[in-house]
């Protein structure tokens, strides 16, 4: 066999050995520990949402719609005058019109509903504004955390979770007879489901128009952040 053919054959054999070595699975990791830690912070809810609604019914759908529009326009005039970013923000909600039927399937009348939502961090401003609105009545009350407060509390819960993760990893490494550990991978998850307010329906008596502002009292909520992952014991 010529020298050139020998060199070519050796090169091909080298490539095959290389390919086989690369196809072999990596050895399983050893002395790797999986763990998780959760930091929880309890905080007062600082976001209030009031849903104000009006319902009208009549034989003429156009007339019903005009009545709802007039009620909403009047409420918006009052609400916009008191609005202030983050303290009291105003938005319209549902606006719907639907037929009501007789037993024989004919349309007997039309019923419509409109909604206005007052939301913000200034509870007295919100409740006083709602009390001045005469064309809509309070139907639902909701509490939650504002974005600013949620972000602040999540940072606090995250720091607590990281501290617990590190302490747990160090304790476990020592208990297993190792001098320490190094991080392999880590994931951070918060129980953030958005800031859609949790509403509670009012009774008929509570939803009736009142001259005085509606009394409100927010409760507390817990924000949790979980840190999970793996460490290499050494």
User: What Cα–Cα distance (Å) separates residue 110 from each residue in 55, 65, 101, 106, 177?
Assistant: 11, 9, 9, 12, 77
Q: Using CA atoms, how far apart are residues 170 and 179, in angstroms rounded to an integer?
A: 8
Q: How many residues does the chain have?
A: 234
Question: What SS3 state is found at 29?
Answer: coil
pLDDT in tens, the chain (234 residues): 555 444 444 444 455 445 555 555 667 788 999 999 999 999 999 999 999 999 999 999 999 999 999 999 999 999 999 999 999 999 999 999 999 999 999 999 999 999 999 999 999 999 999 999 999 999 999 999 999 999 999 999 999 999 999 999 999 999 999 999 999 999 999 875 444 444 444 443 344 445 568 888 888 999 999 999 999 999
Domain boundaries, the chain: 47-144+197-215
Q: 47-144+197-215 domain in CATH 3.30.70?
A: yes
The helix-helix angle for 123-132 and 61-82 (nearest 10°) equals: 140
pLDDT number for residue 151 = 93
Element (H, E) at 180: none
Q: Are 78 and 72 in contact (CB under 8 A)?
A: no
Nearest to 116 by CA among 81, 68, 72: 72
């Amino acid at each position: 066999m010529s020298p050139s053919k020998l060199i070519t054959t050796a090169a091909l054999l080298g490539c095959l050995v290389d390919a086989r070595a690369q196809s072999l699975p990596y050895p399983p990791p050893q002395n790797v520990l999986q763990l998780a830690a959760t930091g929880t912070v309890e905080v007062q809810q600082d976001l209030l949402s009031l849903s104000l609604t009006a319902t009208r019914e009549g034989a003429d759908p156009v007339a019903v719609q005009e009545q709802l529009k007039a009620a909403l326009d009047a409420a918006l005039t009052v609400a916009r005058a008191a609005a202030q970013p983050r303290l009291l923000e105003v938005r319209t909600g549902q606006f719907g019109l639907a037929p009501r039927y007789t037993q024989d399937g004919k349309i007997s009348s039309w019923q419509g509903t409109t909604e206005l939502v007052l939301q913000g961090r200034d509870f007295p401003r919100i409740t006083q504004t709602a009390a001045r609105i005469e064309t809509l009545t309070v139907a639902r009350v909701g509490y939650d955390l504002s974005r600013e407060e949620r972000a602040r509390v999540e940072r606090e819960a995250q720091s607590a979770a990281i501290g617990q993760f590190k302490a747990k990893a160090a304790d476990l490494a020592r208990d297993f007879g190792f001098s320490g550990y190094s991080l392999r991978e880590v994931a951070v998850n918060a129980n953030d489901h958005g800031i859609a307010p949790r509403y509670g329906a009012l009774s008929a008596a509570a939803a009736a128009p009142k001259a005085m502002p509606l009394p409100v009292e927010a409760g507390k909520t817990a924000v949790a952040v979980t840190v999970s992952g793996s460490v290499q014991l050494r």
